[in-house]
Chain A
């Protein structure tokens, strides 16, 4: 009887470990596949009407606009959808995870600049992956301009002068680019908190 109980117990532990192992396996494969796909993707030719520089810098960030002539590989629409989702979130101060995530368009210029730098830091983290996909020398910002969306829905264009340096943006935004929101922080549809 004791033996059976022991066996049942050990089987139960075995199941738990097995599930944990399975989860770890999936996690490990997912993480490694990210790395692997990032290395494979550069040789994929994206021939549709995506233009480098359409970027989420200024004009909004849309891939594969208009459908066009098919897709480059089977996972292409999914990947483009994912990149769209990521990019619209990346330009928003509410998705930075930093103290500046509640910054509105009515904040003083220094606070807005710091929030914009926080947005840029998040974008910069994905730059390597971006360049592996779209080629070295391409950037997610357009002609040195980065559009930042504030917690109240307002937006502003900042100038990227030195992307590799500690401070990437000029502390003054592009003249006339500030579009005021209502000054009330609202939750982001993806990132939530403001």
Chain B
């Protein structure tokens, strides 16, 4: 009788242990990927959503009232933003063979590499918008095989003749520059001149992050971790309007944020503004808006010196 009671007790706890283990395995397991290889060119374009910039709460950028002509590289990002299948964009880039082809192919492969590994399909859906965003995010990368979006393939891209280095070369120069501010200013000037949103985003974020406690932009000081986070978010948003790129509801950041975090907005600007409110607090929206205004103006006027004000003083 005593043994029977212990047996029952043992079975109960054994079952509990197994259940908890099963739960933990499920929690930490990535998504089970299945990669289709079909390419449907006709279904590539996403239905346009609020193309362009945010319509609500957009800060007034002041003196610059007319957008300059969109840069050539802006076309590449627009291809990405309006695509349902990045394979089609890769093929278009390869055929075009322009200077942005390598950088954008590299960006696509890296994005897909992370999207496939992130487990977005396992994210709990809280709204229809989020469900649609998850579907779009997955659809953009699902036509690549796992071999095609491997680390090896990303490395091979650098020597693939179909994708000229062009802007990738400029990014490499930026990556190798170190902390020499004179060299930084020189290369950043060239990046501003190219007006490519991806190059600008990466270089600018590096410079903002290299400021430990505060940054001075056009006479305005942003001080403290939360303010700097708001500044970083505003920079990611500002490269869109600054370069005249399409960062509406189908923007890859906006879609990714909606799919993964449930913040579903109609543009990159609104998405990062909402993320700032959520992560840093509403009080930092003022910093976000001021920095955004300064950055958009700086990009439009090619004023790369905005990042080096502290050095001049």
Contact = CB atoms under 8 A, between A and B. Distances in A.
Interface of A: 10-11, 14, 17-18, 20-22, 24-25, 27-28, 31-32, 53, 99-100, 108-111, 113-114, 117, 121, 125, 137, 142-145, 157, 159, 161-162, 164-167, 170-176
B180 to A, nearest CB: 8
Contacts of B209: 143-145, 157, 159, 174
B178 A176 contact: yes
Nearest to A165: B256
B58 interface: no
Contact of B256 (A144, A162, A172): A162
Given A21-B14, A32-B20, A110-B155, 8 more contacts: A17-B10, A20-B14, A25-B13, A28-B16, A110-B151, A111-B151, A145-B209, A166-B118
B210 interface: yes
B206 interface: yes
B176 to A, nearest CB: 9
Contacts of A31: 17, 20, 24
Nearest to A124: B118
Contact of A166 (B120, B201, B212, B275): B120
Interface string B10-22: 1101101100100
A21 B16 CA distance: 10
B222 to A, nearest CB: 12
B260 interface: yes
Contacts of A27: 17, 20
A166 B14 contact: no
A18 B13 CA distance: 11
Interface of B: 3, 6-7, 9-11, 13-14, 16-17, 20, 24, 28, 106-107, 110-111, 113-115, 117-118, 120, 137, 151, 154-155, 171-172, 174-175, 177-180, 184, 201-203, 205-207, 209-210, 212, 225, 228-229, 232-233, 236, 253, 256-257, 260-261, 275, 279
A176 B260 CA distance: 31
11 contacts: A21-B6, A28-B16, A28-B20, A31-B20, A32-B20, A110-B154, A165-B256, A165-B257, A165-B261, A173-B175, A176-B178
Given A165-B257, A167-B114, A24 B171 contact: no
- Interface pairs A-B: 7 shortest CB-CB: A21-B10, A176-B179, A167-B114, A166-B118, A164-B261, A24-B17, A24-B13
Given A17-B7, A28-B16, A32-B20, A175 B111 contact: no
Contacts of A11: 3
A137 B283 CA distance: 14
Contact of B206 (A113, A164, A170): A170
A175 B179 contact: yes
B117 A121 contact: yes
A31 B261 CA distance: 27
B111 A159 contact: no
Given A144-B229, A166-B118, A175 B206 contact: yes
B206 A159 contact: yes
Contacts of A144: 209, 228-229, 232
Contacts of A18: 3, 6, 10
Contact of B110 (A110, A142, A157, A162): A110
